[in-house]
Amino acid sequence: MRTSVQSSDLCSIIVTYQTQVNELTEVLKKHQANFQQVIIVNNTPEINLSQFQSKHVTLINNPDNIGLSAALNVGIKAAKRLGFNMVALFDQDTELPKNFTQEMLGYINQHQGDTPVAVYSPIFHNHVIDETAKHINLKPFRLIRGPVDDSDYAHPHYVITSGSIIPIKVIDDVGMMREELFIDFVDIEWCLRARQKGYEIVAINKVMIDHHLGDYAVYFMGHRYPIHSPLRMYYYFRNAMYLYRLKEIDWNWRVVDAARNLFRFLFYILFVKDRWTYFRYIIKGYYHGLIKKMGKLEE
């Protein structure tokens, strides 16, 4: 019989970068209302966050911006040292509802299934495009975006990192986040890796977080699309190319994503301002992914 998960089993990990102290103060209030222990992993050491250190808040200052994936691993290792059985992963752009942990644990404990679960994720509302994200599933040679329905659970192929709750024992089995990716595709790669090991991904339809994905929105053919900075698109296309070359990555995802990225490339250089800047960063990303020049881009 499966053991019920308690709030004491779980801590939150927040990765910060160039954060504003007043904004982090508000984020931290919501985390402390939901979690007994919070781990802040600060990727901007020149910003002093020492005022947040307390009995229930562990502050870890990295010597430099080591990237989202490496910072998550730092937080996960700290959670293991503190004796927690599960981690909830976040970045600083996520807003939690008041009873996030209580609701998530309720659905986690009620979930029934014979397949072991790698990660439990809430759904999220993206404020940049003012839409609730759809569930992503892969079929042969195509990607399906399914709307959130009235059921308690969905089983997408992958979910975003922020808000995800992962058992430590699963991380021990599947492995840590790929640090060479630095920022983009960290969540997708880890979920695909977990699925290959026989785990399933569970999205909880009845719990929603607010998230900011993208810098601004562009309207095109009746839809809003989130637009990221040229630097983020460098990492996006670089990491995609890098993952396409890894044999352990699901072949169907590689085919589908490569086709989608062709359209994404054309969209950015045709319909987004500063198209020449995007063109240079995307081409550099493709090249660096091809030669496996990974980690932080040094400009």
Is residue 61 a contact partner of residue 42, using CB atoms and an 8 Å limit?
A: yes
Task: State residue 61's pLDDT score.
Answer: 96
Burial (Cβ within 10 Å: 0-12, 13-18, ≥19) of residue 104: buried
Is residue 216 a contact partner of residue 128, using CB atoms and an 8 Å limit?
A: yes
How far apart, in whole angstroms, are the C-alpha atoms of residue 23 and residue 107? 29
Domains and CATH numbers, the chain: 7-211 (3.90.550.10), 216-290 (no CATH)
Cα distances (angstroms) measured from residue 36 to each of 45, 52, 71: 25, 14, 21
Is residue 100 a contact partner of residue 207, using CB atoms and an 8 Å limit?
A: yes
* Tens digit of pLDDT at every position of the chain (299 positions): 567 899 999 999 999 999 989 999 999 999 999 999 999 999 998 999 999 999 999 999 999 999 999 999 999 999 999 999 999 999 998 999 989 999 999 999 999 989 999 999 999 999 899 899 999 999 999 999 999 999 999 999 999 999 999 999 999 999 999 999 999 999 999 999 999 999 999 999 999 999 988 899 998 877 888 999 999 999 999 999 999 999 889 999 999 999 999 999 999 999 999 999 999 999 999 999 999 999 999 87
How far apart, in whole angstroms, are the C-alpha atoms of residue 9 and residue 22? 29
pTM over 0.75: yes
Task: State residue 2's pLDDT score.
Answer: 66
